[in-house]
Amino acid sequence: MRILLSNDDGYFAPGLACLAEVLSDIAEVIVVAPERDRSGASNSLTLDRPLNLHKSHNGFYYVNGTPTDCVHLAVTGMLDILPDMVVSGVNYGANMGDDTIYSGTVAAATEGFLLGIPSLAVSLVGASNGNFLTASLVTADLVKRFNEKNICAPVLLNINVPDIEYSQLEGFEVTRLGRRHKAERVIKSQSPRGETVYWVGAAGAAQDAGEGTDFFSVQHNRVSITPLQIDLTRYDQLDVVTEWLG
Amino acid sequence: MRILLSNDDGYFAPGLACLAEVLSDIAEVIVVAPERDRSGASNSLTLDRPLNLHKSHNGFYYVNGTPTDCVHLAVTGMLDILPDMVVSGVNYGANMGDDTIYSGTVAAATEGFLLGIPSLAVSLVGASNGNFLTASLVTADLVKRFNEKNICAPVLLNINVPDIEYSQLEGFEVTRLGRRHKAERVIKSQSPRGETVYWVGAAGAAQDAGEGTDFFSVQHNRVSITPLQIDLTRYDQLDVVTEWLG
Amino acid sequence: MRILLSNDDGYFAPGLACLAEVLSDIAEVIVVAPERDRSGASNSLTLDRPLNLHKSHNGFYYVNGTPTDCVHLAVTGMLDILPDMVVSGVNYGANMGDDTIYSGTVAAATEGFLLGIPSLAVSLVGASNGNFLTASLVTADLVKRFNEKNICAPVLLNINVPDIEYSQLEGFEVTRLGRRHKAERVIKSQSPRGETVYWVGAAGAAQDAGEGTDFFSVQHNRVSITPLQIDLTRYDQLDVVTEWLG
Amino acid sequence: MRILLSNDDGYFAPGLACLAEVLSDIAEVIVVAPERDRSGASNSLTLDRPLNLHKSHNGFYYVNGTPTDCVHLAVTGMLDILPDMVVSGVNYGANMGDDTIYSGTVAAATEGFLLGIPSLAVSLVGASNGNFLTASLVTADLVKRFNEKNICAPVLLNINVPDIEYSQLEGFEVTRLGRRHKAERVIKSQSPRGETVYWVGAAGAAQDAGEGTDFFSVQHNRVSITPLQIDLTRYDQLDVVTEWLG
């Protein structure tokens, strides 16, 4: 089995190193990741300049681009044989609810999926305890299961793992994305040159974090697995808008 | 009526100027747009540095960030009163089918929607004839209609306008997003310093461009209007994945 | 006479617009400037990606690169005929003393000089009163003089103009660069995500600002003109170092 | 002895790792280097956003800024005790002649010197044979000599080392910077989206590479040592310009 591994924290991130090592026991792993931290990059794709590809001393490849660029370049040009899976992570911090659309971690997996390859995005919620090994073992479990018993459909799975020891996990749960309240206000500050600057503030508090959501699942020490799709069409509004227009 | 206008081509883009002028006849328009071309930025949000806000000689504000940053900053910090609508565009080129997830134009509107404001993303398909006025007039039509008769739901509409004169348009159509084939391969090139570089290649050809899609609608000289949603959960796969896991 | 005009504040800067207009009365002016503010860029040259060149609605060209890139691209590729002079400015703020080595304004002129063209860098000291017209008229005076009576040597002149009305100027003075004390400490701050960040602090106070320096000249309401060279060799230390090594 | 080590190739560069290891035998070494390749950055200083400082798994610190930013941040804020020397390198490739003003490697050392600390910039000419160890041993020689017998003046030394084995070196030589002919033209290319792009071309051939220059010295397998200064005033032109103005 051949796995293309990427992330959005950069090719030197501990979550990536840990996952690469664990997956190496069960598959051939090729790492192609951003040369620097690109958290929040979403599905950003670089069109106005070409990309470079370099190999690090530890064998990981890095690209001067976004997570999406990394997977795009690897799959449509660099690799001679298509990978069997694309895995993105382990991200430092959660990618749940509405935040998913900003996530570079999820974007790397989405690009794999768009290019026809089953893909997983893996994030460690909180991450202050640094249990990247837990998230890596969870990923290996899923990859092994995938290898034994294919899902009869293309898949893009968003996986969020609680930051606890593997033995403390309370199992897996298939979830829907929760919802957040609106984001907090930007935070005004002054530069030393007297200019007003603005930091993007905190994400909103959970609004829909009830049973069945990724928020709920992780809070109860379960691994949350959310199947994602990329068709943004709001089908249930087609009629309403048609009527409104008429 | 108060409209927040943004784009991803930068604050100096002709599509933005044209739309600002047309909308000014029917609303108070505030422009907050990126300081440089950020096409392909998707929902990228800047978290690792603060943002600057400057005012151009023509009264437009510009931000050293992404389209998402612009709307986020305007709505959660800069504006005293919330805008009634967020409009993003007129983009130079289409934002249809799968490309929608890479689009900075759509991302700016999505950010407005996430912050609770009805939002429109407007793109001029092809754009080689430069009929930004057509797209601007179409946008004004929709804004006026919106002002007269609210849609009884939050809306995020993705609008693609054929690059023809306004009088040649064959009406409006509510559509679903089409689908493309996989992207073309990256294009290898050499830098003058002998390094191999890679350009992201062309988007794939249309795969699902049949009746009801945005591709089809625009090809028949109609304005395509696709209501979008931001919940990426693939509900129809929840059971399949649960069974697979079990 | 044909003048290539650039700056480091970006192609939309008021100091550039003012200077372009004033020089247009006495020469053919071509503007090629950075697409965004690149203050502090020094002689930075972009080697790891290609550059784009676009034309703004007002006829100015802009480049997604540094001031040095702009002049380099214009002279070695874009222009069919070499310009007779390269002018950089009017910069928003002084470029005097040690600060000169950080300056993108001076760097644009330096690149012109390195490519064999007489070059001027023009800065408005302080700039809070916005007397860009004063600095522009001063530049026109020098260009006219240059046109009448060539200096019998390649020149790179660093010009700093007091921020007062033209009629209040107390003449021109040829000066040496002054010296500053060491820079102030960086300023620590916290990002909203709890990370420590560091702003580069203020430049040091003047250390050598005595008679004959640019600092002194401007303080006495004179235009300071410093001829610059680009050979960084410290000739007076060749012996000392040789002896030390031996 | 305490050495601050930086470079412009990024904190992961083999030339930096090699030099850090060799210097560790004779001094306490603290590495603060850019998070990505910043070759060609010159003395660029980041003023429009704050800087981050992170520690890599190997104990090196990295900054999301330029070489100048790294030394500036380390000396004016991060380090409790001032370093006795700043060393920058080993750069991948030469920094000789006119190229010195574009060099990020030299800029990092220049910043140390501006802040009052004896500083060395070290480059491996050609670098295709990868003799970073030769350049590192040469640097250690100079540092040791410096430790034994101080130069009675502040120093900024630009060191270029031939890419051969240490035993093959033909000694040290104190040199002046050579001169190059004008740079080659930019190289036009097309992006896959049909846009014309421009790569900065090759540096010019050597114009003054005679005896006494850095070019000559390295060509004869000697280590070139050029003392640099930062006063750009062209003293020998003060009279000419004064007369021209009068």
> Are A57 and D12 in contact (CB < 8 Å)?
yes
Query: Average pLDDT for residues B216-233, to the nearest whole number?
Result: 97
Question: Is residue D194 within 8 angstroms of chain A, CB to CB?
Answer: no
Q: Are the beta carbons of C145 and D245 closer than 8 angstroms? A: yes
Q: For an interface test with C, give the residue of A51, A193, A196, A198 to mutate (most C CBs within 10 A).
A: A193
Q: Is the pLDDT of residue B220 over 70?
A: yes
Residue type, A14: P
> Are A201 and C191 in contact (CB < 8 Å)?
no
Alpha carbons A157 and A147: distance in angstroms, whole number: 15
Q: For an interface test with A, give the residue of D12, D16, D18, D45 to mutate (most A CBs within 10 A).
A: D12
The helix (run of H) or strand (run of E) holding residue C243 is helix C238-245
**Interfacial D residues in 196-235 facing A (CB < 8 Å):** 197
pLDDT at residue D239 in the model:
93
Instruction: Please state, rounded to an integer, the average pLDDT across all residues of chain B.
Output: 94
pLDDT (tens digit per residue) in D224-238: 999 999 999 999 999
pLDDT at residue C152 in the model:
66
> Nearest Cβ partner of D192 from B48, B192, B201?
B201
pLDDT at residue A154 in the model:
80
Q: How far is CA B122 from CA A49, A89, B94, C9, in A?
A: 25, 34, 9, 31
> Are D57 and A193 in contact (CB < 8 Å)?
no
Percentage of chain D exceeding pLDDT 70: 100
pTM: 0.93
Q: What are the helix (H) ranges across B194-237?
A: 214-219
Domain ranges in chain C are 2-179+207-245
Q: For an interface test with B, give the residue of C11, C36, C56 to mutate (most B CBs within 10 A).
A: C36
Q: Is A141 flagged in the annotation as binding?
A: no
Question: Is residue D25 within 8 angstroms of chain C, CB to CB?
Answer: no
> Comparing B132-141, C55-64, C131-140, which segment has the lowest mean pLDDT?
C55-64
Q: Is the pLDDT of residue B246 over 90?
A: no
Query: Average pLDDT for residues B212-217, to the nearest whole number?
Result: 97
Task: Choose between B58 and D211: higher pLDDT.
Answer: D211
Q: Are the beta carbons of D10 and D40 closer than 8 angstroms? A: no
Instruction: Kindly state which CATH superfamily the domain D2-179+207-245 is placed in.
Output: Survival protein SurE-like phosphatase/nucleotidase (3.40.1210.10)
Confidence of residue B152 (pLDDT cuts 50, 70, 90): low
List the Cα angle D74/D78/D82 in 5-degree steps. Answer: 65
Query: Average pLDDT for residues C1-25, to the nearest whole number?
Result: 96
How far from chain centre, in Å, is Cα D115? 16
Q: What residues of chain D lie within 8 A of the CB of B51, using their CB?
A: none
Question: Is residue C48 within 8 angstroms of chain A, CB to CB?
Answer: yes
> Are A102 and B44 in contact (CB < 8 Å)?
yes
Backbone angles phi, psi at C230, to 5 degrees: -120, 10
One-letter-per-residue 3-state SS of C9-57: CCCCCHHHHHHHHHHHCCCEEEEEEECCCCCCCCCCCCCCCCECEEECC
Q: How many CB pairs under 8 A join C and D?
A: 231
pLDDT (tens digit per residue) in D142-162: 999 998 887 767 899 999 999
pLDDT (tens digit per residue) in D1-24: 999 999 999 998 999 999 999 999
pLDDT at residue C87 in the model:
98
Alpha carbons A154 and A133: distance in angstroms, whole number: 27
Residue type, C47: L
Q: Which residues are CB-contacts of B119 (< 8 A; sequence separation ≥ 6)? A: B85, B86, B87, B88, B109, B110, B111, B112, B113, B155, B156, B157
pLDDT (tens digit per residue) in D84-142: 999 999 999 999 999 999 999 999 999 999 999 999 999 999 988 999 999 999 999 99
Alpha carbons C78 and C80: distance in angstroms, whole number: 7
pLDDT at residue A152 in the model:
66
Q: What residues of chain D lie within 8 A of the CB of A49, using their CB?
A: 197
Q: What are the helix (H) ranges across chain A?
A: 14-24, 67-73, 104-114, 132-148, 214-219, 238-245
Beta strands in C84-218 (DSSP E): 85-92, 119-124, 156-161, 172-174, 179-180, 187-190, 196-199, 206-208
Q: For an interface test with C, give the residue of D82, D113, D169, D237 to mutate (most C CBs within 10 A).
A: D237
Q: Looking at the DSSP assignment, which residues form a beta bridge with residue B28?
A: B2
Q: Which residue has the tokens 């998707």?
A: B42
The residue of chain D with its CA nearest to that of B53 is D48
Q: Which residues are CB-contacts of C174 (< 8 A; sequence separation ≥ 6)? A: C225, C226, C227, D238, D241, D242, D245
Question: Is residue C242 within 8 angstroms of chain D, CB to CB?
Answer: yes
Percentage of chain B exceeding pLDDT 70: 100
Q: In this structure, what token pair is assigned to residue A88?
A: 């993105």
Q: What residues of chain B lie within 8 A of the CB of C12, using their CB?
A: 12, 56-57
pLDDT at residue D154 in the model:
80
Q: Which residues are CB-contacts of C149 (< 8 A; sequence separation ≥ 6)? A: D244
Residue type, C121: A
Q: Is A9 flagged in the annotation as binding?
A: yes
Alpha carbons D131 and D139: distance in angstroms, whole number: 13
Q: Are the beta carbons of C37 and C66 closer than 8 angstroms? A: no
Q: In this structure, what token pair is assigned to residue A168?
A: 């403390």
pLDDT (tens digit per residue) in B96-108: 999 999 999 999 9
Query: Average pLDDT for residues B187-191, to the nearest whole number?
Result: 91
Q: Which residues are CB-contacts of C167 (< 8 A; sequence separation ≥ 6)? A: none
Query: Average pLDDT for residues D171-188, to the nearest whole number?
Result: 94
> Nearest Cβ partner of C45 from D174, D200, D227?
D200
| Known binding positions of C for a divalent metal cation | 8-9, 39, 91
Helix (H, G, I), strand (E, B) or coil at C132: helix
Q: In this structure, what token pair is assigned to residue D143?
A: 């540092």
**Interfacial B residues in 49-108 facing A (CB < 8 Å):** 50-53, 66, 68-69, 72-73, 76-78, 98, 100-102, 107
Confidence of residue D202 (pLDDT cuts 50, 70, 90): confident
> Are D44 and C44 in contact (CB < 8 Å)?
yes
Q: What residues of chain C lie within 8 A of the CB of B14, using their CB?
A: 57
Q: How far is CA C161 from CA B232, C125, C132, C222, in A?
A: 58, 6, 9, 7
Q: What residues of chain A lie within 8 A of the CB of D49, using their CB?
A: 197
Residue type, A50: P
Query: Average pLDDT for residues B192-217, to the nearest whole number?
Result: 92
Q: What residues of chain C lie within 8 A of the CB of A199, using their CB?
A: 191-192
pLDDT (tens digit per residue) in B63-98: 999 999 999 999 999 999 999 999 999 999 999 999
pLDDT at residue A57 in the model:
83
Burial class (CB in 10 A: 0-12, 13-18, 19+), C219: middle
Q: What residues of chain C lie within 8 A of the CB of A102, using their CB?
A: none
Instruction: Please state, rounded to an integer, the average pLDDT across all residues of chain D.
Output: 94
Distance from CA of B222 to the nearest CA of A (A): 13
Could you check whether the bond before residue B90 is cis, i.e. omega within 30 degrees of 0?
A: yes
Beta strands in D102-153 (DSSP E): 119-124
Q: Are the beta carbons of D189 and D199 closer than 8 angstroms? A: yes
pLDDT (tens digit per residue) in B157-179: 999 999 999 999 999 999 999 99
Q: In this structure, what token pair is assigned to residue A174?
A: 């298939």
Alpha carbons B89 and C88: distance in angstroms, whole number: 34
> Nearest Cβ partner of B192 from D50, D64, D199?
D199
The helix (run of H) or strand (run of E) holding residue D30 is strand D28-34
Confidence of residue C149 (pLDDT cuts 50, 70, 90): confident
Q: Are the beta carbons of C12 and C93 closer than 8 angstroms? A: no
Percentage of chain A exceeding pLDDT 90: 86
pLDDT tens per residue, chain A (246 residues)?
999 999 999 998 999 999 999 999 999 999 999 999 999 999 999 999 999 999 988 899 999 999 999 999 999 999 999 999 999 999 999 999 999 999 999 999 999 999 999 999 999 999 889 999 999 999 999 999 998 887 767 899 999 999 999 999 999 999 999 999 889 999 999 888 888 999 999 888 888 999 999 999 999 999 999 999 999 999 999 999 999 988
pLDDT (tens digit per residue) in C75-122: 999 999 999 999 999 999 999 999 999 999 999 999 999 999 999 999
pLDDT at residue B206 in the model:
85
DSSP letter string over C66-116?
Answer: -HHHHHHHIIIII-SS--SEEEEEEEES---GGGGGG-HHHHHHHHHHHTT
